[in-house]
Every structure is written in structure tokens, then in C-alpha cells.
Amino acid sequence: MPLLEIRDLRKRYGAVEALKGLSLDVERGEFFGLLGPNGAGKSTTINILLGLILPDSGSIRVFDQDFAIQQVAIRRRMNVAAAFTSLTGVLTVRENLKVYGRIYGVRNLERKIDELLERFEITELAQRKLQYLSSGQHTRVTLCKGLINDPALLLLDECTLGLDPDIAEKTRRTLQEFQREQQTTILFTSHNMHEVEELCGRIAFLSKGEILRIDTAARIKSLIPHHVLEVRFGPGIDLSPFRHLDGTPQAELGGDSTLRFVLDDPERQLDSLLRRLTRAGGHIADIQITRPTLEDVFIKVARGEI
Amino acid sequence: MRYHLSQDFTCTAPAVWGLVYKFTCICYRSLDRIFDIVYWPVISLLLWGFTSRFVSTTSSSSGIMEFFVGGAVLWSLFWRAQADVCTFILEDFWSRNIYNLFASPVTPLELFCAIGLIGLVRCLLSFVFLGLLAWFLYAFNILLLGGTAIAVFTTVLLLFGWVVGIVISALIFRFGLRIQVLAWSVGFIIQPFSCVFYPLASMPRWVQVIAVTLPTTHVFEGLRHAIATGELAVRPLVIALGLTCGLLIAALLFFQYALLQAKKRGLLTRFEMA
């Protein structure tokens, strides 16, 4: 039985339909990504799951309980870390964490706080007021708050925003460790495609309030079927004859004696293309295959090309 | 999806304790919150104390000082209670902590219980301080009103302060920070109709019609009656207490309605609601 079941969730703001009947299952212990351009409905979905927005219709079951009836009890076993949100600025980091620890009824709270501060490498900030922290430090405190009650379901909304690459990498590793140790189910949104691909087992790709596809990153990338093959020839060769060879895809001229071929079915086309180029007298100096990335899919979705 | 409203009226000790801890930390970490326990009440006491001293020298009536100073001390209780509810709610708006607070298992009832507890302590501190100052500056001993009278007066004023504070907070959730000025101004609108410094009978008829609906009016009428006769007029105070309790329930329901509307419109996730 899935830990989270969303059925036919709809939300409209005036003329704008933010969610158009979204349905989704997330399994226990899954690291699940929500991906999509701005306005796709990711944050609306997260905020509905937190009880901050009331949907127009649809149903949600979490921990096999009806969210509409048991929302407060469910929220005790959940938590969130979201960019753009804050804790109380005049309180120190430790005080803020103690507030939420007490609200969630955490046992051995002081020890739990020490452990989290150490995990995110911010022990030295414990007595600093939150309002004096940098955005990166602030983000890590928000993550500590998100993990304070060892949530069974954790919602992470752009939670690594503002972190430098080194700290962001450490944070991802920490989240993975935490998820493995606690078997936490994590719902994750980010605009960092590399991050989503690295962390999430499955991804729901949203656009205009609908799920386009739920799958692994590898399969979602196959929404763009073609690969780009760049062939660099030896210097001083006239490339025009190679651009329109029979039985090969048409090529574009690149810089530095290079031709770019778009392959719809690389497994079938690659070998024969290279043979024909060689047979036609082309001296191939180098080749490079560029596979579609999650970012390519994202851009095409955002532009309405998929 | 139909939201079950009864959830908002659950109350657990850990959540209330967590919020009380937060408000306590805010109080000692923020100079504003320490300062406002005494600043405005002391200004009011000085203003009305010296006014009454002057009026006493030009009038043959007795008890003028007691009426004015007693009114100023008790009014500060209402004002403090009302402002504390609004300020502690607004603290979370200003910190952009509303998102995290309402995403946690905290219910509105737990929030107001915590604000009530911390507000009670702050009101008592303010009351004791003003009582001592009134005794020191004007030789007015508020304890002479008697324990029962003080208990009833303070209870009604505190509860009605919370009623007004909860209603203003509800409006802030509905209309955003652009109406936050109400947190400090509504008390000044209610004050002239509450007959704090003058009897109800001296007011124009239309004002009397409004004034009798306010529990505060019955408290200050009761105060003047107690000072003048040394006795407590029980019946109007019981009515005032009953009215306040009814209004408190209505205010909580109104807040719950405003919160639900804010959730329907997605306002809780927009931090700059001004």
C-alpha cells in the first residue's frame, strides 16, 4: 500500500487552474521528485499536503489515513523544509529548533538538536540569532527543522537553494543517509536537474497542473528520443559532401571541422552512419555523443514542445 | 475535499508548551516586547493621573482621582491583552514563519492558548507595575477595591482583550499585513465607547446604545460603583462575563472561518500579503 495516495486533486484560483485532477502514489521509503516549470503545480501540491492550501476537490491518504479528517495527526509524522520560508529571526538557532522539537513532541530534544547541527556542520551557529545568518546557513537550519521529528514523510521544496556547490553536495549526501537510515519517504522539488536526477528514484513531470509522466529519470529523458552525434574530421577537409550522404541524417555544420547529426534511433543509426562517412573518404578525428538531459526535457516542456 | 473543522479545536500540551517557550524567548530576546509591557500603560497613567489631580483642585466632587487612575490601570489590562494577541501573531508574519507554523501540527486553539498564557503573565506584570506606580505617584491603592472586584474586572478585561485581538488576527489572516495597523488602533476606537473615564449616563443616547453592548463598559461602571459605594454591583458584571465568554467563542469561530478562507485562497503561502 502506498504511503501517500493522491487522487484527482483539483485547485483553481479564479481563472487559473493550478491543478487539473492530479493523481499520484508514493511508496514507503521512496525518494520521489516533483519536476516542472514555474506554475506547473509543484508547490501547490506540496502546500496542499501541508494543509496550507485547501483543494477544491480530490482526496489524499497519508499513512493510510484520510488527510481531510486526520490532518493534525498526520502532520505530526510529517515535516517540511522549504526555501523562501523562515523561522523566528530574533531567536537563536537552538531556540528555534527547540520550539519545533517541543511542538512535535520530540524526546531527548537537546541530543537530537546537537546531532542535527553536527550533521549539517552548523554546530558553531547554535547560539546565533537566525536573523544574522547567511542564506546558506539559514537553509541548513531549515533542513534541521525539517528533520527534527524524524518524519515518516518529508517534503523538501527547493531546499538546497542558496547553498554553494560543496555544501549542496554534502547536504544531498546527508539527506540520502538520513533517508536510508530512517526509511523516510521524501517528496522533493527542485529546479536543479542534476540534483533531482541524483536523488530521486522516480520523478513526476508536471506541466500546467497535470502530470505528463511518472517514471525514472532515465525513462523521462527518453521523452526526447534523439541523441546528437558530433563528428570532428581531420583539418582542411571539405565537409559539404558528408552533409547529405544517402541514407544518413542531414547534418549541420559545426565549428572546428565538425558536423552535427541528430539521431532518432542511435542504436540502429550510429554504426551505419560512421561506416558511410568513412567509406566516403572522411577521416574522422573524434566523435562525441550527447544524450538528452533532464534539463533538455525540462526546457522542452516549459516551451510546450513536448 | 471537505476539511473537518473539529481538528482545529484539538489542544495538546506539547504544542502549547512549545509555543509558550517561543513567546517567552521572543519576550526576552526582543527589547520591543519588554518595553511595551510598561511604556504605553505608564504614559496613560501619567496623563490621566495628572489630569485628575488638576480636575480635583477645581471640583468639589470626591473620588475623581480614584475614578481616573483606576480607569487608566484597568484599561491598560484590556489594551495589553488585545495587543499581545495581535503582536504575537504578527511576529510570525514579520518573521515569515507562518508557513512553518501552520505546516506543523499546531492548531489555532493551541496557538491562542499559548498566547493567552504568555499574555496573562505579561498583563499581570503590567498590572502590578502600574498598581505600584499609582500608589507611589497618586497614593491610589487599587487593592482597596477588594479581591473579588479585582478578579472579576481583570477576568472580563483580559477575556474581552483576547476577543478583540482574535478578531483582528482573523482579519489580518483574511486581508493581510496591510491592515496590521488595526492591532494598535482598535483599542483607541473602543475606548470612548467603554466609558473608561466617565459614566454611561453622561453619554448621548446613541453612544449609550453601543456602550451597553461592550463588556468593558460594565467593568468601568462597576469600578466607579465600587469606588463610590464600596460595594460590588454583581449583576451587570455577571452579564458582562457571560457576554465576554459568548464573544470569545464567536471570535474563535470567526478566526477559524478566516483561516479556512485564507487556506482556500492560498494566502498562507504568500508571505508578503500586504
The residues that bridge with A61 in the sheet, in sequence order, are: A5, A66
Q: Are B212 and B200 in contact (CB under 8 A)?
A: yes
Which residue type does B261 have? Q
CA-CA distance, A118 to A110, in Å (whole number)? 12
Q: What is the mean pLDDT of each run of 10 residues along chain A (306 residues)?
A: 94 92 94 90 93 95 93 94 89 97 95 96 95 92 96 92 86 92 92 87 91 87 82 83 77 83 82 85 86 81 74
- Domain identity same for A112 and A82: yes
By Cβ distance, the residue of B7, B21, B97 closest to A87 is B97
- B57-66 mean pLDDT: 79
> How high is the pLDDT of residue A240?
80
Furthest-apart CA atoms within chain A: distance in Å: 75
Of A188-197, B79-88, B154-163, minimum mean pLDDT range: A188-197
Residues of chain A found within 8 Å of residue B113, distances taken between Cβ atoms = none
Q: How far is CA A266 from CA A135, A215, A219, A253, A271, in A?
A: 44, 22, 16, 19, 8
Contact A52 B99 (CB under 8 A): yes
B111 pLDDT more than 60: yes
Range picked from A250-254, B38-42, B98-102 for highest mean pLDDT: B98-102
Whether A98 has its CB under 8 Å from any CB of chain B: the answer is yes
The set of cell numbers assigned to B114 is 499559548
What is the pLDDT confidence band of residue B1, given thresholds at 50, 70 and 90?
low
Contact B269 A53 (CB under 8 A): yes
- Domain identity same for A256 and A110: no
Q: Are B203 and B195 in contact (CB under 8 A)?
A: yes
CA-CA distance, A51 to A172, in Å (whole number)? 26
- Domain identity same for A28 and A120: yes
B31 Cα to chain A: minimum distance (Å)? 10
- Domain identity same for A168 and A64: yes
Q: Phi and psi dihedrals of A40, rounded to 5?
A: -75, -25
The B-side interface with A (CB below 8 A) comprises 1-4, 7, 10, 12, 14-15, 17-19, 21-22, 25-26, 29-30, 91-92, 94-97, 99-100, 102-107, 260, 263-266, 268-269, 271
> How high is the pLDDT of residue A227?
83
- Domain identity same for A268 and A192: no
Owning domain of residue A290: 227-302
By Cβ distance, the residue of B3, B97, B104 closest to A88 is B97
Residues of chain B found within 8 Å of residue A85, distances taken between Cβ atoms = 96-97, 99-100, 271
B112 Cα to chain A: minimum distance (Å)? 14
Q: Which of A221, A244, A267 is the last residue of a domain?
A: A221
> How high is the pLDDT of residue A11?
95
Contact A86 B107 (CB under 8 A): no
- Domain identity same for A176 and A31: yes
For residue A57, the domain's CATH number is 3.40.50.300
What is the pLDDT confidence band of residue B3, given thresholds at 50, 70 and 90?
low
- Domain identity same for A160 and A45: yes
CA-CA distance, A154 to A168, in Å (whole number)? 18
Residues of chain B found within 8 Å of residue A60, distances taken between Cβ atoms = 1
Listed by start position, the domains of chain B span 5-269
By Cβ distance, the residue of A52, A73, A91 closest to B263 is A52
Q: Do strands A210-215 and A202-207 pair parallel, antiparallel, or not at all (unpaired)? A: antiparallel
A72 Cα to chain B: minimum distance (Å)? 5
For B44, the enclosing helix (H) or strand (E) is helix B31-58
Name which of A72, A91, A127 to mutate to probe chain B: the one with the most chain B Cβ atoms within 10 A of its Cβ: A72
A41 Cα to chain B: minimum distance (Å)? 13
What is the pLDDT confidence band of residue B273, given thresholds at 50, 70 and 90?
very low
> How high is the pLDDT of residue B186?
93
Sort B61 into a burial class: Cβ within 10 Å, 0-12 / 13-18 / 19+: exposed
By Cβ distance, the residue of A55, A90, A102 closest to B17 is A102
B39 Cα to chain A: minimum distance (Å)? 21
Residues of chain A found within 8 Å of residue B30, distances taken between Cβ atoms = 90
Pick the residue from chain A with its C-alpha nearest to B267: A53
- Domain identity same for A100 and A241: no
- Domain identity same for A172 and A247: no
Residues of chain B found within 8 Å of residue A69, distances taken between Cβ atoms = 4, 7
Contact B107 A72 (CB under 8 A): yes
CA-CA distance, A133 to A129, in Å (whole number)? 7
Q: Which of A221, A250, A269 is the last residue of a domain?
A: A221
Which residues have CB under 8 Å from B84's CB, separation 6+?
B115, B118, B119, B122, B123, B161, B165
Residues of chain B found within 8 Å of residue A145, distances taken between Cβ atoms = 100
The set of cell numbers assigned to A299 is 526546457
Give the number of domains in chain A: 2
> CA A203, A81, B104: angle at the middle one, nearest 5?
115
Q: Are B157 and B219 in contact (CB under 8 A)?
A: yes
- B167-195 mean pLDDT: 92
- Domain identity same for A19 and A140: yes
For residue A256, the domain's CATH number is 3.30.70
Task: Please name which of A113, A173, A168, A165 lies closest in space to residue A144, comparing C-alpha atoms.
Answer: A113
Which residues have CB under 8 Å from A114's CB, separation 6+?
A123
- Domain identity same for A211 and A235: no
Q: Which of A221, A251, A266 is the last residue of a domain?
A: A221
Which residue type does A287 have? I
Task: Please name which of A102, A136, A100, A107 lies closest in space to residue A121, comparing C-alpha atoms.
Answer: A136
> How high is the pLDDT of residue B274?
42
- Domain identity same for A93 and A207: yes
ipTM of the complex: 0.87
> How high is the pLDDT of residue A221?
82
Contact B1 A55 (CB under 8 A): yes
Q: Do strands A210-215 and A16-26 pair parallel, antiparallel, or not at all (unpaired)? A: unpaired
Residues of chain A found within 8 Å of residue B269, distances taken between Cβ atoms = 43, 47, 52-53
> How high is the pLDDT of residue A12?
93
